[in-house]
Amino acid sequence: MPTKKPKVFVVHLGCAKNQVDAENLVGEMLHAGFATCDTAAKADYILVNTCGFIEAAKEESINAILAQINGKKPKQKLIVSGCLSGRYGDELVKELPEVDYWVGTYKPGELLKKMGIVAPATCDAENLPRMNLGGFKHHAYLKIAEGCNRRCAYCAIPLIRGKQVSRSIEDIVAEAKELEAQGVQEITLIAQDTTYFGREKGKKGGTLAQLLRAILDNTNIPWIRTLYWYPMFVDDELLDLMASEPRLVKYVDMPIQHASDNVLKNMKRNYRKKELVDILHKIRERIPGVTLRTTVLVGFPGETHEDFEELMELLEDIQFDHLGGFVFSPEEGTPVMEMDLPAVDESEARARLDAVNDLQEELDAEHAEAMIGKKVRIIIDQVAEESEYHFYGRTEGNSMENDDIVKVLEGDADVGEFRDALVVDAEPHELIVKLV
């Protein structure tokens, strides 16, 4: 009679990079003889993968841990992993003794060792098969580096994940080939700063462009996307490759954070407004039809009304296709906590974020209207259950989870399939299409 496999239920919080850590951790557990289940009630082990980036994320993670503690059965074991436990593990162990195992950001074999499980020899391999937690078998995130060499004044990531360590091109290509063999149609390359890939190793580390070329040469994955570009490491080699290769989606995600030289200097971003504007215009010129996404941070200490107006002027000039906005959150241990800068009133900071979002909503409406009547290539992401639509999907100008969706009115298709479609209606954040 076969031995019953212990079951693990996963609660994932945080960004795509943290998701990949959880996928690696669960993949390791599966390789060691575990199975997954869809509810905590069925589980022998409950894994809460936490985020510790900003205060709101910390609170969400603590609440998720407490919820599992309160619902845990006597024989169930609770595992906490991720950024929160990596940064505050020593304190949390004392405060939450109900947690059975604490691990930080993913390190091969760490959890199994703590559990007293002898891991199969292959558990130390960097390319151990992952458990897809994203819910879409045709899409996968591919982490190309860990940590960050930037010391942006507001950011706790270097404190949590350390300095940047890029994977080898060979390892990344091997994982891409494995994902392709599993049926993945789109991979999204992620790191804290993908454009810095390999640079900490010098010439032997390669570049992002060289990595993309290697993936193109060794796989047939139809859509290859990169997120998190840093402005000062966008070079001609990268732009030329993206412009010339149809499998590299024409999509650039570049978090600019701000546009005022005063704020950028205080943030310790090593570029200024003119350089930023030049780079953004260059991207638009070199890659026709490119989709631009950005992230901005308002309410940073010392930000004046004049600084904020500079940001708004740049947003009106560039007209980003997608934008995410945040209010500054003070984080212990970050450089800004040692700076003598006046705080921005919270209500004022939130009003500024509202103004950014209002402007972007106007731009989104204009972008949506301009799409009506156009033919687009889409990927089918899922069946639209209990809806007037048949499917939901995306164009190449929309990344998984972050951006707009496409709603398919009629037609037959398979999830993960690429189809041509005609845009018949649109509004901010969604296109209505018919398959053609």
Q: Of 367, 392, 412, which marks where a domain is finished?
A: 367
Residue 187 and residue 166 in one domain? yes
Q: Which of 138, 134, 152, 230 is nearest to 187 (CA)?
A: 138
Q: Please tell me the pTM assigned to this model.
A: 0.88
| 253 and 177 inside one domain | yes
**Tens digit of each residue's pLDDT (9 = 90 or more) over 256-310:** 999 999 999 999 999 999 999 999 999 999 999 999 999 999 999 999 999 999 9
Q: Is residue 132 assigned to a domain? A: no
CATH code, domain with 12: 3.40.50.12160
Helices (H) and strands (E) in the chain, counts: 12, 18
Give yes or no: residues 350 and 399 share one domain: no
Choosing from 124, 157, 181, the residue where a domain stops is 124
Total number of domains in the chain: 3
Q: Give me the pLDDT at residue 125, please.
A: 44
Whole-number pLDDT of residue 38: 87
Count of C-beta atoms within a 10 Å radius of residue 59: 10
Query: Does the residue 254 lie in any domain?
Result: yes
Q: Are residues 93 and 22 in the same domain?
A: yes
Low-confidence ranges of the chain (pLDDT < 50): 1, 123-125
Q: Which amino acid is at 301?
A: P
Write out the residue range of the structural domain in which residue 72 sits.
Answer: 7-124
Do residues 221 and 340 both lie within one domain?
Answer: yes
Whether residues 356 and 328 fall in one domain? yes
Asked if residue 133 is part of any domain, the answer here is: no
Q: Is 184 helix (H, G, I), strand (E, B) or coil?
A: coil
141 in the Ramachandran plot: left (φ > 0), alpha (ψ -120 to 50) or beta? beta
The CATH number of whichever domain residue 398 belongs to comes to 2.40.50.140
